[in-house]
Amino acid sequence: MKTSIISVLALALAIGGCSGYRPTPSGFYAVLNQPYRLGAGDRVRVTVFEQDSLTNTYSVNSAGYIAFPLVGPVPARGRSVEELEGALAAKLREGFLRDPDVSVEVDQYRPVFVMGEVGAAGQYSYVPGLTVQKAVAMAGGFTPRANQGTVDITRDINGKVMTGRVITSDPLMPGDTVYVRERLF
């Protein structure tokens, strides 16, 4: 009797250890309700009113900057669009325009990545309102071996990369990596 209880406990620990379960980190969902922070791969539309030559679409490069005419590189990574508007206006006030009226909006978000047990793993365009389930559908759906209940999402939160296990109805953010695990049985 004592041997069978020990073997059942050992089996339970072994199965539990194989799953690699990690609880979702604190702050993982809080970032969804904060202003969007720009990152490398985003493209922004900058409008400088009455300055057609400055109005254009600019990409955030891998170093986190946009190359803006007259003022040069402007840091964008980690800033909200409102903060970038203020930074651009401040730079333009430094000898270029008297009272610049600058507007910034996200033209294209950085992509999401879907990996694991899906039909076509890869990089996919992010659109507002994208959920795990919709991203998996874009990636060809689940394979027959996929765990369809939960997935792991790796997300950059304020410069810190975190991974959490979520259900398929959870929302995604630009730059997220979705990993669909193989089911055990």
Strand positions, DSSP E, 69-176: 72-75, 102-108, 112-116, 122-124, 150-157, 160-167
> What integer is the mean pLDDT of 73-85?
96
Which pLDDT belongs to residue 127? 95
**Whether the predicted pLDDT of 70 surpasses 60:** yes
Q: Which three-class secondary structure state does DSSP give residue 19?
A: helix
Residues pairing with 112 in the sheet: 124
Which pLDDT belongs to residue 160? 87
Query: pTM, whole model, 2 decimals?
Result: 0.80
pLDDT, one tens digit per residue, over 24-45 is 777 788 888 889 999 999 999 9
Within 13 Å and on the Cβ side, how many CA atoms surround 94? Answer: 9
**Whether the predicted pLDDT of 15 surpasses 60:** no
Token pair for 111: 């992509």
User: Pseudo-torsion of CA 29, 31, 34, 38, nearest 10°?
Assistant: -150
Q: Residue 156 class from Cβ within 10 Å (0-12 exposed, 13-18 middle, 19+ buried)? A: middle
Helix, strand, coil percentages in the chain from 3-state DSSP, rounded to 5:
25, 30, 45
Distance of CA 60 to the CA centre of its chain: 14
Cβ proximity of 28 and 157 under 8 Å: yes
**Whether the predicted pLDDT of 12 surpasses 60:** no
Query: Which amino acid is located at 61 in the chain?
Result: N
Which pLDDT belongs to residue 142? 97
**Whether the predicted pLDDT of 172 surpasses 50:** yes
Domain boundaries, the chain: 43-108, 110-180
pLDDT, one tens digit per residue, over 135-146 is 999 999 999 999
Domain spanning 43-108: CATH 3.30.1950.10: yes
User: 110-180 adopts what CATH topology?
Assistant: Outer membrane lipoprotein wza fold like (3.10.560)
